[in-house]
Amino acid sequence: MAKEITSREENYSQWYNDIVKKAGLADSSAVRGCMVIKPYGYAIWEKIRDQLDKMFKETGHVNAYFPLFVPKSLFEAEEKNAEGFAKECAIVTHYRLKNDPENKGKLIVDPDAKLEEELIVRPTSEAIIWNTYRDWIQSHRDLPILINQWANVVRWEMRTRPFLRTAEFLWQEGHTAHATSQEAIAESKLIHDLYAEFAESFMAMPVIKGYKSENERFAGAEETYTIEALMQDGKALQAGTSHFLGQNFAKAFNVTFSNAENEKEYVWATSWGVSTRLIGALIMTHSDDEGLVLPPKLAPIQVVIVPIPKPEPKLIEKAEEISLALKDLGISVKIDIDDTKRPGFKFAEYEMKGIPIRLGIGNRDLENNTIEVARRDTKEKLSVELDQVVPYIEKLLVEIQENLYSRSRSYRDDHITKIDTFESFKEVLENKGGFLSCHWDGTSETEDKIKEETKATIRCIPLDADYEDGKCVYSGKPSKRRVIFAKAY
């Protein structure tokens, strides 16, 4: 396996693409802008999916599934939502092909098979779901509805990058219905907190919790809560959003309920989601110039055991003994018994794949009752007593998880800069990047001008930001709190 990848310093974008390819995460496809998620990449997604699914269900949510296709009339019902996604829509107009009479073996669209109503391939599911909820909700006793679905969506992106932005991607989308605005807002905040907990505790990725400016809100939302992470190139990544939709979709689809006084009211709504872009976030938060680095909690293989120089029976026997003991602790293990590759090649391969711990065991190790333990995050190697290796690894996995979080948090904190002048804003953005904490006058006009001149956007208005008197970094008008600007993916 060719180990060499472009360095981050030389070309960060190419470094990212090299890791995606050489770590075996994804490949290009015959469809422009779409990717093939390879088994190792999909295994990471399964770890993300399974943990989030558990967290959703622990908070009372259930899974369902809704159609991939959305009738155009339904999609148009909520105007802001339709307008927000219109430029990214793929549309089905016909349902059949036929042989081309002038070109044997070729197929053409059958003009007689035109759909009565065009179908949108879902870019998001609010329309089809709220049209369904109208039939499910009559009384306050039918509320709340707490539904999530795991699905794929299509947003016809012109500039794509694996995991970060593709024409089709996998995600989860929650859609809940409530009797009061207070309940819906509480739901939005609950999921916001859940996403932040997952990002920090499982992805080892620190985030800033906040809400979006009006310009950056989800189309059709009254409020959008977001978690924002910082990648190693100083750009922000929106890692998860939770939306309070008010009664906009309920009114668009006439979803009402009878309250306890038997009065008709419109339902209150939320939606929320994260996607396979979290794999891109993992890559860019932790990886290095030798390849992928994975936090143990999301690594498909947490420990790999490599017999040296080749998998002899007594080495395999000892490896299996260690493996069984680790698996009893819920630790995933692979024993490499491939005798066609040299140990050096295997070490490079597992380093590229980001496996947190590698064990190397040879005949001399057995004689000395030791085993070599190599950790991926720091590349440190240590000789450990064989009878101590299992508890040592159990503790080491926790240490690696904590170290990755600490390391990425230190980077993030070192790249939050307080800015008070627009000249400093541009200088820091160009030379250092990261999160720029500065005053903003609260107007869309100023926000648009800053974006036009610098390509930086308001990533969020932090929930924990202190109120302070100041002047807008661009207009000089009064401001009461700082917001976070950054260039973003």
Domains and CATH numbers, the chain: 24-89+122-286 (3.30.930.10), 301-395 (3.40.50.800), 416-486 (3.30.110.30)
Half-sphere exposure of 339 (CA within 13 A, CB side): 6
Q: Concatenate the DSSP letters of all residues of 5-28 into one string.
A: ---TTT-HHHHHHHHHHHTTSEEE
- Note the pLDDT of residue 359: 98
Nearest to 318 by CA among 370, 268, 283: 370
Q: For the segment 65-88, what is each residue's pLDDT rounded down to a tens digit?
A: 999 999 999 999 999 999 999 999
Mean pLDDT, residues 92-104 taken together:
94
Distance CA 440, CA 476 (A): 9
Q: What percent of the chain has pLDDT over 70?
A: 99
- Which strands make up the sheet holding 90-94, listed edge to edge? 69-71, 114-121, 90-94
Residue 302 has pLDDT above 50, yes or no: yes
Q: For the segment 317-329, what is each residue's pLDDT rounded down to a tens digit?
A: 999 999 999 999 9
Q: For the segment 437-469, what is each residue's pLDDT rounded down to a tens digit?
A: 999 999 999 999 999 999 999 999 999 988 999
Distance CA 281, CA 194 (A): 17
Mean model confidence pLDDT for the chain: 97
Residue 3 has pLDDT above 80, yes or no: no
User: Which residue is it, tokens 């998620």?
Assistant: 37
Q: How far apart are the first and last CA of the chain?
A: 30
- Note the pLDDT of residue 374: 98
Distance CA 441, CA 474 (A): 8
393-397 long-range CB contacts below 8 Å, 24 or more apart? Answer: 393/303, 393/326, 393/331, 393/357, 393/359, 394/326, 394/329, 394/331, 396/357, 397/296, 397/302, 397/331, 397/356, 397/357
Q: Are 456 and 431 in contact (CB under 8 A)?
A: no
Nearest to 265 by CA among 103, 143, 359: 143
User: Quick one: CA dihedral 390, 392, 394, 400, positive or negative?
Assistant: negative
Q: For the segment 241-275, what is each residue's pLDDT rounded down to a tens digit?
A: 999 999 999 999 999 999 999 999 999 999 999 99
- Note the pLDDT of residue 234: 97
Q: For the segment 183-204, what is each residue's pLDDT rounded down to a tens digit?
A: 999 999 999 999 999 999 999 9
Confidence of residue 158 (pLDDT cuts 50, 70, 90): confident
Q: For the segment 214-247, what is each residue's pLDDT rounded down to a tens digit?
A: 999 999 999 999 999 999 999 999 999 999 999 9
Confidence of residue 159 (pLDDT cuts 50, 70, 90): confident
- Note the pLDDT of residue 2: 45
Residue 482 has pLDDT above 70, yes or no: yes
- Note the pLDDT of residue 4: 82
Distance CA 147, CA 271 (A): 10
Q: What is the dihedral of CA 271, 45, 49, 356, to 10 degrees?
A: -130
Confidence of residue 357 (pLDDT cuts 50, 70, 90): very high
Q: Concatenate the DSSP letters of all residues of 320-386 into one string.
A: HHHHHHHHHTT--EEE---SSS-HHHHHHHHHHTT-SEEEEEEHHHHHHTEEEEEETTT--EEEEEG
Distance CA 242, CA 271 (A): 6
Q: What percent of the chain has pLDDT over 90?
A: 97
β-strands 303-308, 357-362 pairing? parallel
Nearest to 169 by CA among 41, 76, 13, 17: 41
Retrieve residue 290's tokens.
């030798």
- Note the pLDDT of residue 447: 98
Radius of gyration of the chain (CA): 26
- Note the pLDDT of residue 466: 85
**What backbone phi and psi angles, to 5 degrees, belong to 66?**
-120, 160
- Note the pLDDT of residue 192: 98
